[in-house]
Structure 1
């Protein structure tokens, strides 16, 4: 049973690391700040939660601490990304020409 948990923990660590790598690639490849924020936030949130889950399986004594860290990241990472994107929108950072709809501008009555 311990060998199965070790294997599953290592697999979760690997998958979490791949998500983190894809998040870094997304930060480089995306065309504007809004897409970069989305790519970075989604992949790092999932990658970190998978990595914490893998460590939790490898070190069961740390499970409560890792759960609290995971909950903190789950709540703060998307919220901070939303605040950063809203601030970037407010100061008028350029969007990619492929952006067709700007719901925040519609909601606030600004010109898109």
Structure 2
């Protein structure tokens, strides 16, 4: 019975990782690719580590599989967030089907800073002008200084 459960966990984890790999190849932009890789690979690793723990049935192996799973679940979303933010700051084009860009009104492309959300964000036209490289008398720079 344990072998059947191990096999099911291995196959399911491998399928999730395969779907994550296909998502990286097939999805249209950086942010959706990272979403697929982070979610699918994290779940795939969890299932594979559960199969490994069931196979060996030792406390040391179980502790290591828990540590590996915790490490992946802790680092993968943080790394994806940092890479996505860096890609956005560099100017990676979003997919044409993207409906909402929550960073745009809070991002100053000249200083590469985000407003905290507590301050009132710049008007849409000012943000567009800054993104296009036109400055309106220095507007937008004064509220980003620390």
TM-score by length of 2: 0.70
Partner of residue 53, structure 2: 56
* Superposition deviation, residue 99 in structure 1: 0.7
2:10 alignment partner in structure 1 = 13
Q: Which has the larger radius of gyration?
A: 2
Gaps of 5+ in 2: 108-120, 122-126, 132-146
For residues 25 and 5 of structure 2, what CA distance do their matches in structure 1 show?
A: 31
Aligned length: 109
Tell me which residue corresponds to 1:96. Answer: 95
The separation in 2 between residues aligned to 1:51 and 1:8, in whole angstroms, is 11
C-alpha deviation, 1:78, in angstroms: 0.8
- Cα RMSD of the aligned pairs, angstroms, is 1.4
Distance 2:10 2:27 in 1: 25
1:1-80 equivalences under 5 Å are 4-61=1-58, 62-80=61-79
Structure 1 unaligned blocks of 5 or more:
none
The higher-RCO structure (CA 8 Å, 6+ apart) is 1
State the alpha-carbon separation in 2 of the partners of residues 29 and 72 from structure 1: 27
User: Contact between 1:12 and 1:53, CA under 8 Å: does it hold in 2?
Assistant: yes
Using the size of structure 1 for normalisation, the TM-score is 0.90
Q: Larger helix proportion, structure 1 or 2?
A: 1
